[in-house]
Each structure stands twice: as structure tokens, then as C-alpha cells.
Amino acid sequence: MQMSDIPFGVTDWAQLEVTEHKGERGAALWRTRHFGGIRVRLVEYTPGYLADHWCRKGHILLCTEGELLTELEDGRTFTLRPGMSYQVADNAEAHRSSTSLGAKLFVVD
């Protein structure tokens, strides 16, 4: 990831528009900023959320609240709790998210 031509700035995430992305169950609520080719998001998954697809996009993801279950296409699973993160490259390992309790995440991709 090359970060260039981004002046210093402050983001008040509470002021950003929320977009809803339905899952197989529940919804993901995104607040998004773009900095060149870098997308930065504050994401909230509703309780009971299950993604409707296997994601192949790379991310750096930090769980800030709740609990997130990430399943890899090969069957491995990982549980993130507040203060835990994961990172995966584009096209490295397909993954999908779910949560029974709900979760809030900070995501850079």
C-alpha cells in the first residue's frame, strides 16, 4: 500500500453518512472515507449478521466492540474480540464474517 498525496486531516466518523449493506442475515452499516486508492471504513455488523459472499479483497481490520467470527474458505475460523485484528492480502484467502452479538470494526483496504 502506497500512501501519498494525503494531507493531514481529522475524521469525525459520527458525521459521515451510513450506508447499509445487507448480508445473508442482518446488515453491515458502513461509514466510509476514500484517500486515493485506499478505503477506510468504520463498520458495524448487526447481531446475527452473516456475509452473503466470500470476500477476496485484502484488509487490515481491527475489532473495536463486540465479537467477530471470520471463516476462511478452507474451513478455518478465527474469533476477534475488542483490541484484536487480522490482516489478509488481496486474493490470498477467501473469507467471510459473521457475528451473533454484533461487532464494530475499523477497516483499511
Q: From residue 55, how far is each of 15, 26, 58, 89, 104 by CA, in Å? A: 28, 17, 8, 11, 18
C-alpha radius of gyration, the chain, whole number: 14
Predicted pLDDT of residue 3: 80
pLDDT at 1 over 70: no
Predicted pLDDT of residue 16: 98
CA–CA gap between residue 28 and residue 31 (Å, rounded): 10
pLDDT in tens, 28-45: 999 999 998 899 999 999
Predicted pLDDT of residue 86: 97
pTM for this prediction: 0.92
pLDDT in tens, 85-99: 999 999 999 999 999
- Average model confidence (pLDDT) for the chain? 96
The arithmetic mean of pLDDT across residues 21-33, rounded, is 98
Domains, the chain: 17-108 (2.60.120.10)
The arithmetic mean of pLDDT across residues 49-56, rounded, is 97
**Are 41 and 17 in contact, with CB atoms under 8 Å apart?**
no
Predicted pLDDT of residue 21: 97
**Are 85 and 109 in contact, with CB atoms under 8 Å apart?**
no
